[in-house]
Amino acid sequence: MGRDPDYLAFLRTRLAAEPPPGRRTISELRKEHAADLAALPRPEVGAVKDVTIDGPGGPLPARLYRPAHPVQAGADDPLPCLVYFHGGGWVLGDVESYDPVARALTLACGVALLSVDYRRPPENPFPAAVDDAVAAVRWTAANARDHGLDRARLGVAGDSAGGQIAAAAAWRLRDRHLAPALQLLVYPAVDLRDVPPDLPDPDGLTFERSGVDRILTLYLLGTDRTMPEVSPLLAADLTGMPPTIIATAEHDRLRPQAERYAARLTESGVDVTLLTGTGLDHGFLGWGSFARRPAEAIAGIGAAVRAAFARV
């Protein structure tokens, strides 16, 4: 099935405006990525506060978002919180550039969201990002009361590369007292052994592959790609992982591995909600203001998060 007409028109306009294919430096890719995200709308939320996390490699900038219409019962009740790790292929993106996406998630979910500026390769290869993610969860738990957050309802979240980081952090913390109450993974990369092939496109669209194989090499160097903290899908035992929401995009080459991860978690007794992004593509979290289908998918993610936290 092809894409909805309004969404397809948006996507064609977007692809036509992309820079021509070709090898670019990491610095050039970062500038292009930041400019792309800067064009996204920044919806109003209840409050935004910049904070600093004590990271294993030094201070980590982070940004705490509070919803205008929170889900908790009383105005003074502590809020559930998602500790969020942005996408960007491990090497791109930061808290400021992903501000529009963080706002959209906060608005949809009605919970607090802490967006974390984890260390990136090539300056800081694996496991720096995962180490930072674990430290961010610990910091949030330790400082929950000071920020009006519910320590018992802290989850991890991430999209794309950030989904791999969030899932790896959840796996490392699964048997500890700081185990997340929830993991939200949006079109996550959970098997880094190789770059998956493109899926057949019903509308004949062509997406640049953007050198992901080169970026994986920068991220992992010589690390064993079958390690659970690299490829969460390949963990021998997923028992004890938190309740999980996985949102996929139909035309995303990462969809098959995300679906396999959902199935493996379910087989391990984990409560899994799989949201199939029919007619959508990788990156839709930033596109809710431009077409109906991304907006519906983001709203569905928010509803699933609210329902999951209500069960905690």
Nearest to 100 by CA among 71, 63, 134, 149: 63
Say if CB 160 and CB 282 are below 8 A apart: yes
- pLDDT in the model for residue 22: 76
- pLDDT in the model for residue 76: 75
> What predicted TM-score, i.e. pTM, was given to this entire model?
0.97
Say if CB 257 and CB 189 are below 8 A apart: yes
Q: Which of 94, 131, 252, 281 is catalytic?
A: 252
Look up residue 191 and give its DSSP letter.
-
Average pLDDT of 134-139? 98
pLDDT-based confidence at 211, cuts 50/70/90? confident
pLDDT digits (tens, 9 = 90+) for 228-271: 999 999 999 999 999 999 999 999 999 999 999 999 999 999 99
pLDDT digits (tens, 9 = 90+) for 77-112: 899 999 999 999 999 999 999 999 999 999 999 999
Q: Which of 33, 86, 251, 282 is catalytic?
A: 282
- pLDDT in the model for residue 133: 98
- pLDDT in the model for residue 75: 64
Asked if residue 209 has pLDDT above 70, the reply is no
CB burial of residue 195 (10 Å; 0-12, 13-18, 19+): middle
Question: Helices (DSSP H) in 110-146: which residue ranges?
Answer: 128-142
- pLDDT in the model for residue 24: 86
Average pLDDT of 61-80? 86
33 included as an active-site residue: no
- pLDDT in the model for residue 1: 67
Average pLDDT score over the chain: 95
132 included as an active-site residue: no
pLDDT-based confidence at 207, cuts 50/70/90? confident
* Cβ neighbour number for residue 94 with a 10 Å cutoff: 20
Asked if residue 210 has pLDDT above 80, the reply is no
Ranking 133-137, 163-167, 169-173, 206-210 by mean pLDDT, the lowest is: 206-210
Length of the chain: 312
- pLDDT in the model for residue 71: 78
- pLDDT in the model for residue 288: 97
Q: Which of 160, 231, 251, 281 is catalytic?
A: 160
For the chain, domains (ranges, CATH) are 5-310 (3.40.50.1820)
- pLDDT in the model for residue 263: 98
289 included as an active-site residue: no
- pLDDT in the model for residue 206: 87
pLDDT-based confidence at 73, cuts 50/70/90? low
Q: Using CA atoms, how far apart are residues 54 and 60, in angstroms rounded to an integer?
A: 6
Percentage of residues of the chain with pLDDT beyond 90: 90
Pair type for strands 79-85 and 244-247: unpaired
Asked if residue 208 has pLDDT above 90, the reply is no
